[in-house]
Every structure is written in C-alpha cells, then in structure tokens.
Amino acid sequence: MIENKKPKSIEEYILAALPAVQEKLWQMHDTIQQAAPGAAESIKWNMPAYSYKKILVAFAIFKNHIGFFPMGAPLKAFENELKNYKVSKVAVQFALNEPLPVSLIKKIVAFRVKEDEAGTIQWRS
C-alpha cells in the first residue's frame, strides 16, 4: 500500500498510502497522539512509531488492514476486548472496511504509557 520510497516522517508515510485509506491512518495517528501526548514520532521498521523512553506502539498499512503493534503485555491485558480481531504475539489487525476501535486503541496506548513510566515495557510476552 505504501510506495517503495522510504518515508522520513509519519506524515510522509500516510500521504504515500492510497487516498482511500489515508483518513483511517490519520485517525490512527490522532488517536495515538491523544493517548500519548508528547510522544516522540519516528519511522521504525518502515512504519510510524511513537516513543517516550521506549517505543510504545507502531502501526502499518497492509492490503486489507492496519496492523497495530503494541507488542507484548497489552495484547494479553486486553485479550477479551481484542477477541473479535486477528491478534498475533505482537500485533492486532484492524480491517480497513470496519471503523477503528478508537477507545480501545486509546486504552492500549495508555497501558503502554504506564508500562513505560514504570520501566516494565517488554517487546514479547
């Protein structure tokens, strides 16, 4: 979904996506910013990433979904709320043809912020 050119910023990443999905990517970006105000924004692993002391979350666009990467513990902590989504050890998939679960994303990001503040962030569980 993203051109072969490597984006240098989150804005470039979103603008390189197909116009039909850009609004959803902006919504993901805004949701993360609201839950982690002041988080440093960067491109890690060729996808938008947000950090305080450590990387909190990242996301990426795919053909039929947005991959949301909170890594590790949040996926277990929110297991019941994520049961309707495809979940791996490090990520959850949000289908492009469905609304983003904004309140759930905010809760997961807030969980990661608390982990960061406590120094307990783990990349895998």
How many domains are there within the chain? 1
Does the pLDDT of residue 124 top 70, yes or no? no
Q: Is residue 5 part of a domain?
A: no
Q: Is residue 124 part of a domain?
A: no
User: Between residues 74 and 123, which one has the greater pLDDT?
Assistant: 74
Does the pLDDT of residue 3 top 60, yes or no? no
Local confidence band at 93 (pLDDT 50, 70, 90 cut-offs): very high
Please, what is the average pLDDT of the chain?
92
Q: Is residue 3 part of a domain?
A: no
> Rounded to two decimals, what is the model's pTM?
0.91
- Say how far apart CA 31 and CA 106 lie, in whole Å: 6
CATH number assigned to the domain comprising residue 21:
3.90.1150.200
pLDDT of residue 125: 44
How confident is the model over 53-66, as a mean pLDDT? Answer: 96
| Domain, as residue range, for 31 | 10-115
Please, is 27 exposed, middle or buried when counting C-beta atoms within 10 Å of its C-beta (0-12, 13-18, 19+)? middle
Q: Is residue 96 part of a domain?
A: yes
Percent residues over pLDDT 90 in the chain: 85
Q: Is residue 2 part of a domain?
A: no
Q: Is residue 121 part of a domain?
A: no
Q: How many CB atoms lie within 10 A of CB 108?
A: 25
Written as one string, the DSSP assignment of 40-77 is EEEEETTEEEEESSSEEEEEEE-SSEEEEE--SHHHHH
Q: Is residue 109 part of a domain?
A: yes
